[in-house]
Structure 1
Amino acid sequence: MQTSEESGQPLVFFDLETTGLGQSCEIVQLAAVSGGHSLNLYVVPRCRMQRGAAKVTGFRVRRQRLYLHRQLVPTNSLREVLVSFIAFLHMLGRPLVIGHNIRRFDCPVLARALDELDLRAEFESSVSGCVDTLPLAREMLKDHGLQSFRQENLVRELLGVNYKAHDALEDVRALQALYSVLQPTPELICRHKFTLDTMENKAAAKPKGPCRLPEQRPLWEHFRQTVKVTESKAEDHDGELHGLLM
């Protein structure tokens, strides 16, 4: 499990790939990682993939099947993906959810999907809050002369490596490594902390009190019982459930 060294706060790094960048875009891939635990699930979207998004991510939908770089991938319903994500968070003991540019994009998309399926309350009770590493990095690295605070650029500048961006699982793995290098203080984390209810405010919500360590609750069995994988029976599928817990 990934934790903040100073506070023992459990951390989950999270990212979405979507059908586009508009307000009506839908989730295609949801990935999360915490230490050695990871979740990587796919959804066949109801709306069409925008051409620009398909070009960047490599996703295509054909006959209600999802392909990534021309390879068929196993998919779940949106409800199964969200319930699985919530169970993953429960398993880790109400962690802090961390992502890059999630306040302006990923979290609003996630909130809309949670509201549609009446799952927002379950999500909110499963986390201690969210932190966007984009404004966090801007504050921490404001005197470093960086030309861009995009995640790919930060990983290249601070870790000296390039990675496969625009794949949600690769993005969260890279962000986890980046966060370990940044090592923000608990005070800085609290200053940038927000919830789905406060994310629309321009300034991060001020914590009402000191950050408290959430209760740890190992719920592996609950997680396994919750997740239901709908794997395609297409002949060219290799049969590996790589979209589930890795």
Structure 2
Amino acid sequence: MRPTMEKAINATCTRNEFIPKPAPPQLSIEIVIVDTETTGFEANADIVHIAAKCGTQSFQAFMIPQQPIHAKASEISGFSVENGYLLYFKQRVETTPSVTAANDFVNFLCGLNSQILIVGHNIIRFDAPLILRWLEKHDLLEKMCSITYGFTDTMPLLRQGKISKQAVLAKQYLTSPEWKLFHEKAHNALTDCYVLNGLLEHFEISNEVLISRAVSLKAFLERQAMLRKQNAQLRFLRPMENAVSEYMLNKMARQGVTMEGLVREYKLHGDEGIKVYLGEPVNGKPRITTNNRIVQNVIERVKNFLAKKSTN
């Protein structure tokens, strides 16, 4: 059976045959700038417009989304759906079925005949997970992974003080007349690919720098696995909310700590059991923490939890 994206990101430790081993960049590696426009800002958003640029070659595809376009997203990007048609600033655009667009996108990348590095602004946190989920839906994830070295997020490379948004950077630094039309069409995926390329050239960010700052595909998928595990485990720690910081709560979730486990250790060994449970060494560091204040907060929340259960 073909390993799915869900299996890959949920079980990286047991499905290492799917997640590619880290590979050094090949001499022929190609930098591909990719951008998307979506129905919203959540992890389950649909892609409406996807574009890619590699040197003088470019690709774009428009798709009818399966879910409504959020009003704020529509205001920013100009995309809307009316009477079954996709509109871009009230003008109808030709769309492609999602499966066809996905095949065309991967074929464009494969047609570069090289290992590729995908570059984008905020791509690791937003675009890349959406793109991989979209490709997995159409059985194209493995094909994509076979040619992809990794992802590079340009946001930390281009940030100027507190300015990090691509459109703001472009208006401030790409000021020659030929960029005027690009500014007017900001948040069009293909336009944004050209703008990002312009910013990289303006700030003299070389391909070597982009490659050196890449997150490998394996590392990216493992990070996604960690985040999925964390999100899945958080529901088992709801009684601990507000007792510890969000950072600490997420750390507990990543490490598999549950309210059931905390209660078990307290019933067996009292306060000391929780101290050991949270502080046992893992790779030379505490599993969660040995900070006495945090540990005491956890102990008090466990006691309160048990007291409420006993009165119910």
Residue pair 2:148, 2:217 contacting (<8 A) in 1 also: no
- Given candidates 94, 104, 121, the residue that maps to 1:74 is 94
How much does 1:195 deviate?
4.0
1:64 aligns with 2:79: no
1:121 aligns with 2:142: yes
1:193 aligns with 2:214: yes
Deviations 1:70-96 (A, max 9, x none): 111111111111111111111112322
Q: State the aligned residue count.
A: 190
Q: 1:232 maps to which residue?
A: none
Residue pair 1:32, 1:169 contacting (<8 A) in 2 also: yes
Query: C-alpha distance in 1, partners of 2:100/2:218?
Result: 23
Residue pair 2:32, 2:119 contacting (<8 A) in 1 also: yes
Which region of structure 1 is more displaced relative to structure 2, 10-19 or 111-120? 111-120
Q: 1:154 maps to which residue?
A: 169
The 5 Å alignment of 1:2-17 reads 9-17=29-37
Deviations 1:124-175 (A, max 9, x none): 113232211012224xx5xxxx331111222233333551211111100101
Query: C-alpha distance in 2, partners of 1:176/1:198?
Result: 25
Residue pair 1:111, 1:196 contacting (<8 A) in 2 also: no
Q: 1:213 maps to which residue?
A: none
Q: Larger C-alpha radius of gyration, 1 or 2?
A: 2
Residue pair 1:95, 1:127 contacting (<8 A) in 2 also: yes
Higher relative contact order (CA 8 A, sep 6+): 1
Which region of structure 1 is more displaced relative to structure 2, 19-28 or 150-159? 150-159
Q: Which amino acid is 1:97 matched to? A: I
Residue pair 1:27, 1:109 contacting (<8 A) in 2 also: yes
Which region of structure 1 is more displaced relative to structure 2, 150-159 or 183-192? 183-192
Query: C-alpha distance in 1, partners of 2:89/2:36?
Result: 17
Query: C-alpha distance in 1, partners of 2:108/2:209?
Result: 26
In structure 2, the CA distance between the partners of 1:150 and 1:68, relative to structure 1 (3 Å rule), is same
Q: 1:171 maps to which residue?
A: 192
Q: 2:203 maps to which residue?
A: 182
SS at match of 1:125: helix
The 5 Å alignment of 1:1-246 reads 9-92=29-112, 93-138=114-159, 146-160=161-175, 163=183, 164-185=185-206, 188-199=209-220, 201=223
Higher helix share: 2
TM-score by length of structure 1 reads 0.70
In structure 2, the CA distance between the partners of 1:190 and 1:12, relative to structure 1 (3 Å rule), is closer
Structure 1 stretches of at least 4 aligned residues deviating more than 4 Å after TM superposition: none
SS at match of 1:76: coil
In structure 2, the CA distance between the partners of 1:196 and 1:47, relative to structure 1 (3 Å rule), is farther
Q: CA RMSD in A?
A: 2.1
Query: C-alpha distance in 2, partners of 1:156/1:70?
Result: 24
Identity of aligned residues (%): 31
In structure 2, the CA distance between the partners of 1:53 and 1:186, relative to structure 1 (3 Å rule), is closer
Give structure 1 stretches of 5+ with no counterpart: 1-6, 203-246
Query: C-alpha distance in 2, partners of 1:67/1:186?
Result: 36
Residue pair 1:20, 1:53 contacting (<8 A) in 2 also: yes
Residue pair 2:53, 2:59 contacting (<8 A) in 1 also: yes
